[in-house]
């Protein structure tokens, strides 16, 4: 079993994708994260869902839960409006981390090692110089457990 | 909208749960992680799926992808057998991190702030001294996007 047996189509975003659209993709397709690609269509980083939330939550609320508590329920409900007009560019993690990326021939052990090392439930797959899809922790566990 | 509107039932594991059972739970129920509870049933930590994988992948493969590559496909396929006989106790993250935990009255903004700060797509909910369930990034985004 190799990447080619586990790969799934996976949505991508670019630096200019609206952050709200990224949030919708995460929610509607129940994704563990999004693949950010550059102008050439190659993966730049994996954007975890929590990183998109980060942009919607004012910094003072993130750092001090007591301050998040003073915002009343009606205003709190609308917190995603903070994403309006902003793009994925502003959601990028501050520190760049190793990009979990594999080719079509990686074994399930190589893919698992990559997920474990980068703590990413998602590996981007590059084939023939372009993004071909992704392998998720979900699909990898599903298949490996059958054996 | 508060925790009580977003809470879902969520499976738990204990220190003594077999690691293979934890992997099955993650795969079958498509979970972003598992809630580890103590003997009193209170949450101790959130165990990400990648942390369970970590136990199944030999350290030399995690650290050096080239070494994972030399394991042939037939053996690689069976890597989850490494979990046999081992328990969740061995999957625990080395560093203890802030536990994302909320009560029934937290607003959606408080929950989002907690997920963003702890980078956890899952918040454990404690009510009346016991674990009542969880709020997931997924359910939070779904509901907040409707507004």
Lowest mean pLDDT among A23-27, A55-59, A83-87, A90-94: A90-94
Q: How far is CA B136 from CA A46, A128, B16, B30, B87, in A?
A: 19, 36, 25, 12, 25
Asked if the interface predicted TM-score (ipTM) of this complex is over 0.90, the answer is: no
The whole-angstrom separation of Cα B31 and Cα A73 is 28
Instruction: Name residue B2's beta-bridge partners.
Output: B107
Which site among B53, B69, B81 would you substitute to test the A interface, given the most A Cβ atoms closer than 10 Å to its Cβ? B53
Whether the pLDDT of residue A110 is over 90: the answer is yes
Dihedral sign from CA coordinates of A81, A84, A86, A91: positive
For the stretch B114-141, pLDDT in tens is: 999 998 999 999 999 899 999 999 999 9
A131 vs A59, more confident: A131
Q: Cβ–Cβ of A141/B23 closer than 8 Å?
A: yes
pTM above 0.90, yes or no: no
CB contact set of B46 (below 8 Å; sequence gap of 6+)? B33, B34, B35, B36, B99, B100, B120, B122, B124
The per-residue pLDDT for A92 is: 84
- Spatial contact of B46 and B124, defined as CB atoms under 8 Å apart: yes
Is A141's CB within 8 Å of B48's CB? Answer: no
Q: Nearest CA to A67 among A54, A78, A58?
A: A58
Q: pLDDT category, B94, cuts 50, 70, 90?
A: confident
- Asked which of A130-139, B39-48, B84-93, B121-130 is least confident by mean pLDDT, the reply is B84-93
**Cβ A68 vs Cβ B107: under 8 Å:** yes
Are A113 and B73 an interchain contact pair (Cβ–Cβ within 8 Å)?
no
Cβ-Cβ contacts under 8 Å, B147 against chain A: 77-78, 80
Chain B residue closest to A114 (CA)?
B62
pLDDT higher than 80, residue A93: no
What is the architecture, at CATH level 2, of domain A3-146? Roll (3.10)
Residues of chain B with C-beta less than 8 angstroms from the C-beta of A110: 61, 65, 68-69, 76
Query: In whole angstroms, what is the distance from residue A147 CA to residue A12 CA?
Result: 31
A61 vs B75, B80, B113: nearest CB: B113
Q: What is the mean pLDDT of residues A59-66?
A: 84
Distance from the Cα of B77 to chain A's closest Cα (Å) equals 6
Find the residue in A nearest to B114 (Cα).
A62
């Amino acid at each position: 079993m190799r990447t080619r047996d586990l790969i799934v189509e996976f949505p991508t975003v670019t630096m200019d994708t609206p952050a709200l659209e990224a949030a919708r993709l995460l929610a509607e397709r129940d994704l563990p994260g999004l693949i950010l690609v550059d102008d050439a269509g190659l993966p730049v980083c994996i954007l975890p869902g929590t990183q998109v939330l980060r942009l919607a939550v004012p910094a003072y609320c993130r750092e001090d839960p007591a301050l998040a508590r003073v915002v009343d329920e009606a205003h709190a409900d609308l917190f995603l409006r903070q994403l309006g007009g902003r793009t994925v560019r502003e959601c990028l993690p501050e520190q760049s981390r190793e990009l979990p990326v594999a080719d079509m021939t990686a074994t399930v052990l190589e893919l698992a090692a990559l997920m474990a090392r980068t703590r990413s439930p998602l590996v981007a797959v590059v084939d023939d110089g372009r993004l071909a899809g992704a392998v998720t922790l979900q699909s990898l566990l599903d298949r490996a457990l059958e054996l």
